[in-house]
Each structure stands twice: as structure tokens, then as C-alpha cells.
Amino acid sequence: MGTVPNFIMISKKDLKRIDNLIWEIPKSYRSDMNVPARLFASVDLLMEILPDKSLEQLINITTLPGIQLFAAAMPDIHQGYGFPIGGIAAFDLQKGIISPGGIGYDINCGVRLLTSQILFRDFQEKTKIVADLLFQKIPSGVGVSGVIKLDKKSLQGVLTKGAAWVVEKGYGEGADLQFLESEGHLSDADPACVSQHAKERGSKQLGSMGAGNHFVEIDCVDEIYDKNVAATFGLFKNQITVLIHCGSRGLGHQVATDYIRIMLNNLSKYQINLVDRELSCAPFSSKEGNNYFRAMTASANFAWANRQIITASLREIWQKVFAKSESLKILYDISHNIAKIENHQVNGHVKKLLVHRKGATRAFGPHHQELPASYKKTGQPVIIPGSMGSYSFVLVGQEQASYLSFGSSCHGAGRRMSRKKALKEFNGVNLIRDLKMKNITVMAGSVREVAEEAPLAYKDIDQVINVVDQVGIAKKVARLKPLIVVKG
């Protein structure tokens, strides 16, 4: 096994500017690179990105077997485990690898946007009661139990069928599924590849949010950029919407932990030399690689089921506070920590690739076969949550994203400060007070979590969104202003 190269801070002069907002670290930068590394960023964002190890991590990805064309990074890139968060890489199915570090510990962490017919003027007087009910009814926090407990047979159903299983149990309607990425279910899932320990962790947590940067948020549509696409998505000015951000909880975390260990123990078997142990991987075609893929997709199914249960809880709250006739409709649900088999152009030919997205959102353009009929003409909704206290955005995927970034966009603002540093810089109690003065209600089980997620610990979301919009990966449709944020 190789060793991590001594960290040498990359400077602006090491990057080749191939377009106004597109930078490339050429293959010649380091002798072990198989392909170049690509970054989407403005000069201002680049200056924020350069000081940490995220670009070094991006370069390390290019050394992995079977990588195709380039490793890419979004403007919200920051240092992660193995892959940088905001990193994208695609691998040949026969010669390439699969890496848990290219997906993350929170498998299928993603976002779901729900729309209502309630206007801001009619919501204002209900703010406190809604905030209290959200905090009471949606379990959040480290290790917290969920809404339902799963026996062995039920957990098998969740891991195999995903959101469809919980819809069958009465948590939603069949029509919901068409508005979830992959309809909330990946067929390659195999619960037998998920360890008993992972299953035990997951059996108690379905329908819970977790902690960290996860949240349920009530927003108001305060800006419409594209009236036609917004109308197709069911968005309008001053509309109340709901954002859900969470993933596969302890189950997904344990799956990642299990397979990182398995893959590290089998590197020599496949003669894989790593520059960084955090890039532990296995050939996708190997037993270890295939088992992880099946466990990862089972975890993804769990996450879609999890967000579906939370949606059901939100709908109950909505009808309790507002009229029984009022409902919450799913605009879309999209993952930003996953690996999927997709068709992409490589050197003029369509090829099946294993696309790793870690802190990166799928952004398919119009007429893509995987999109629901409602969005075929517009392209895929791309939902980008901001940091606590800042705007979130709804974008729409563009066709040229397929060759610019393997059909991928950013996933948020991106951290500019570690959680440890944020704890030193910010006081949670003061932040809650300051946000309240901006008419943003924060409900949290821990003021420590609030400090770690301080808005100033993140990059400027407007700058990040403007990059992907101007490059043409995904175009702006609407902006959402937070009113209530509920965290673990």
C-alpha cells in the first residue's frame, strides 16, 4: 500500500483556466494521475478552497483504477473522508473500483422539497405552533429512535423496496413515488450484504432526522427566476414550502464502516496501491465490491423510506394546524451521497459507468429517461439547501451537465470552517437569538449543534449557486427564505 503524499498546498498557478468558471489541474501535475481534475469555481471561491486539503483529495481520486475522463469538484467543495465533499468521479464497470469514501458515511443523505398552497401572510400567525409541533413530532439527535420500530421482516422490506414499502404501510400515496429519484428504490439492494450490527442500528431509527447538518425547515418562496419552470414545479411567490435533509442514519454509517475495513484488508488481493488509506476500495466486479454496492443500495432504500416517514409526519402536522383539505405535495427528492450505474458519453461513445457523487446532486437535463413525465420537458429539479439562516435554492438540470460533470451539481453552500473551529468562534445561544431577530425560528436539542452549523461557518450560497447557474450545469428557478429550522 502506498502512503499519503506530503501535503503541498496547491496554488492558483497550478490550475489551468479552461473557461471563466472552470479550472483544471492537468494530468501532468503529478505522475500518478490517470486523468485531470476539474473544478467549478469563481476566483473568490477558489481562494477559499485552496487552503484546505480538498483539491489534494481531488487529485488523489484521479489515481484510482478505471477512472474515466476526469475527477470533478463543485464550488461547495471542502475536505472530507477520502473524497472531498463536493466530489464526483465515474468508473469503468469492468476495470474500475467502488469506494465507500466516494459516497460517504451517510449513504443517500439527500433532500426532499414539499410544497403547500399556504401563503406567507396566512402562515405567520402559526409560526410558533408549527415550530413546536415539528420539534415534538419529528425525532432528531444523535442515536435517537424513530417513529416506527422494525422487526426483522419489516426491515427486510424497507431495505429491499425502499419508499414503496412504507407507502404500502400507509405512509403516503403511490403517486408520491414518481417524484423521488429512482422512485425511491434501487433494485440491486441485498439485505444479506448488510451486517447484523447495521440492521440493529437501523431497526430503531426509521422516521428520524439525526443530528449534524440535518434538518427540517419551513421556507417561503421569496424569488422566482424562471416563471415557466417554477409553474411546472408548482412554485409561486410567497408560497410556504418544507425542506427535509437527512439520510440512512446509523444503518448507512455502519455499512460504510464495515466495508471500509473489509476493503482495506483486501487491497493486496487486488494489487491496489492507494495514496490515501481513506480511499479504500475494491474492484466493482469483485465479491467485496459487489457486496458493498448491494449493501449501499439497501442503505439508500432505507434513506428514501426514512424521508417518506418524515413526510407523513409533516403531513399530519400540516392538517392539524391548517385545514384538513390542505396537503403537502412532493416536488422532488434527490440524493447527494450515492454511487449509481448510469449511461454517459466517453470519447464519443455511450458507456455504462459507476458514478460516485459525494456531496454532489444529480442534475439531469430535459428528456432524460429517468425523469418523471411531469419534468421531461424542463429537466430535473435540483434542490440545494443553504446553511442555517441563509437562502436555499431550486434549480433545474441542464443537458450540458452530462458532459461537464457527469450530470452533477453542487449540494449546498459547503463548509469554509471545520466544526471544531466553529465551536470556538460561535455561541449557539447567541446564534439562536440573532436568527430570531431575522425572523428565523431555530429549534434544536443542542446549542452545540447550532454553533457547529453557524451560517458563517459556510461559504456564500449565492456565490456557489451563481457558478453552477452561469456554467450551465443547472439554472436558477426559485429562492427559498427560511422561517423555521428544526435541528437535532
Active-site residues: which are they? Answer: 411
Can you name the residues that pair with 447 across neighbouring β-strands? Answer: none
Q: Residues 259, 289: contact at Cβ < 8 Å?
A: no
Q: Angle of helix 287-321 relative to helix 127-137, nearest 10 degrees?
A: 140
User: CA 398 to CA 240: how far, in whole Å?
Assistant: 26
Task: Tell me the backbone φ, ψ of residue 234, rounded to 5 degrees.
Answer: 80, 30
Helix/strand/coil for 241:
strand
Pairing of strands 474-487, 441-444: parallel
Q: Residues 237, 224: contact at Cβ < 8 Å?
A: yes
Compute the C-alpha angle 343/346/349, nearest 5°: 80
Q: Residues 333, 180: contact at Cβ < 8 Å?
A: yes
CA dihedral 143, 149, 151, 156 (to 10 degrees): -70
Characterize 133-151 residue by residue with b for buried, 16 or more Cβ atoms within 10 angstroms of its Cβ, and e for exposed. bbbebbbbbeebebbbebe
Q: Which residue has the cell 419534468?
A: 375
